Amino acid sequence: MDTNDRKTRVAVPLATFAEWQALAPDEAAHQIHARLAAMPPTARHAALAFVEREETIAGLFASASTTSPLRGVPCFIKDLFDRAGVPTCAGSTFLPEVRPTPYVDSTIVMRLREVGAIVAGKTHMVEFAAGLTGENQHYGDCPHPRFSDRLSGGSSSGSAALVAADVVPFAIGTDTGGSVRVPASFCGLYGFRLTPGDDLIRDAFPLAPSMDTAGWFTGNGADMLNATQVLASLQPAAQTPRGWYLPLHSLLDGADAETAQACNTAAMEFCPAVDATTRETLLQAWRDTVDAYVIIGMHEANQVHRNWLNPFRERYEPAIWQRFTDGGRFPPEKIAWAKAVRERVNRTWRQFFESFDFLVLPCVPGPAPRKADCTPALRQQILALTAPASLGGLPVLSLPVSLPSGLTAGLQIVAATPNSPVFAWALAKNP
């Protein structure tokens, strides 16, 4: 191939599944590498953990022979999932020293290949998935692809960034406390999270096993519908579902006014604002969700990391080391209290879904943050929005919401099951 031909190929605009599926295998493989090369070096380093050789990717495209809607769709996977022969780092520098290089692929990688998707590589993330803003002191904070002074969100930062930068149209993440929902909202993407214990998450490197879920990102609703139909057996919508919207001002004091208004406007396309009785029932049930989420999550994280916290203390990010360490200091009665809160939240969700099909609420309190904005207070605000579904172990569809500034926020649509027809209905209304 001569240089002029290579330059022409780099210029091809691609965004959707169908546009990628129309490419010849070597063309598609070249596009992935060319788009990665075109990223600013610091952004690429912060987002990309591993990429297959161009020749290998071309071979994967050539061998994809199914009729699935994901056939020939390239993707990257978050570096919590194993790829045979490639160390899994989970955003850290020492994990490969204490955990052997995997010799088999994770279930989600095998599933993607079964349906013809092209797993091109792995993405960086917040260390051990323990953060929501996209910061990582080892590989660099992951910048927003269109607003370089802001961050992508996390912990699935690299996966979101590569989709938002149009490197690939699809990427796999995980979501424990919002790690798909948050970066999807900040980066203007569609996101979906499954449920804890699903086959696609069981063999991922864990953060908090009772709450970890697999999930994915796309750049548009039609592609999200196709991906979710394949990976979650999404049911078609036979009738208009019933739901409520819980506004941002009901959940947070002093929330960003532009975000609140934009979310209100977007949510009204799906359902009315919640009535006073239902609102108070939900808010009362959720009043301790952040504390309960942190106690359960960090206690479980401590169980995963307890043998490494002392010998590798200097190689953890200090705040993450502290949270994981503190997770081993909760007295049994505090853990029991947190689990009782989770049961109360679950009971309230079950009662809600006896009468309604879905609940809509904002994903984030404002647009993508700058580094200086990434404070414990912001983390608390985000978790106040995301923890109710996390504690409930529920699937969530995240939809982007445009803000006047050109930045984005997001709505989360919470339903009872991953294959709920609510999700197909919502994506049809928001393509």
Residue 15 sits at the vertex; the CA angle it makes with 193 and 222, to the nearest 5 degrees, is 50
The CA dihedral of 358, 186, 251, 426, to the nearest 10 degrees, is -20
What is residue 261's predicted lDDT score, i.e. its pLDDT?
97
* Ranges of each domain in the chain: 1-288+337-431
Judge whether 122 counts as a catalytic residue.
Answer: no
Rg (CA), the chain: 21
Confidence class of residue 238 from pLDDT cuts 50, 70 and 90?
Answer: confident
pLDDT above 80 for 1: no
Q: Across the chain, what does the average pLDDT equal?
A: 95
pLDDT above 70 for 105: yes
pLDDT, tens digit (0-9, with 9 covering 90-100), for 257-288 = 999 999 999 999 999 999 999 999 999 999 99
Q: Which residue has the higher pLDDT, 228 or 11?
A: 228
What is residue 4's predicted lDDT score, i.e. its pLDDT?
35
pLDDT above 80 for 12: no
Crossing angle of the two packed helices 289-305 and 318-326, in degrees rounded to 10: 100
Catalytic residue among 92, 106, 152, 155: 155
pLDDT, tens digit (0-9, with 9 covering 90-100), for 115-145 = 999 999 999 999 999 999 999 999 999 999 9
Pairing of strands 243-245, 358-362: parallel
Judge whether 429 counts as a catalytic residue.
Answer: no
Using alpha carbons, list the distances in angstroms from residue 229 to 70, 119, 401, 423.
10, 19, 23, 10
Return d(Cα 13, Cα 1) in angstroms, integer.
20
pLDDT, tens digit (0-9, with 9 covering 90-100), for 32-70 = 999 999 999 999 999 999 999 999 999 999 999 889 999
Return d(Cα 250, Cα 365) in angstroms, integer.
12
What is residue 10's predicted lDDT score, i.e. its pLDDT?
43
Return d(Cα 422, Cα 356) in angstroms, integer.
11
Catalytic residue among 152, 179, 185, 398: 179
What is residue 310's predicted lDDT score, i.e. its pLDDT?
98
- Whole-structure pTM value: 0.96
pLDDT above 90 for 430: no
Phi-psi region of 399 (alpha: psi -120 to 50; beta: other; left: phi over 0): beta
Q: Which amino acid is located at 21 in the chain?
A: Q
With tokens 């359960």, the residue in question is: 296
- As a 3-state breakdown, the chain gives helix, strand, coil percent values, each rounded to 5, of 45, 15, 40
Contacts of 143-146 spanning 24+ positions with Cβ under 8 A: 143/40, 143/42, 143/43, 143/46, 144/186, 144/187, 144/368, 145/43, 145/187, 146/188, 146/406
pLDDT, tens digit (0-9, with 9 covering 90-100), for 316-360 = 999 999 999 999 999 999 999 999 999 999 999 999 999 999 999
Q: Which residues pair with 118 in a beta bridge?
A: 74
Judge whether 78 counts as a catalytic residue.
Answer: yes
Q: Looking at the domain that runs over 1-288+337-431, which CATH code has it been given?
A: 3.90.1300.10
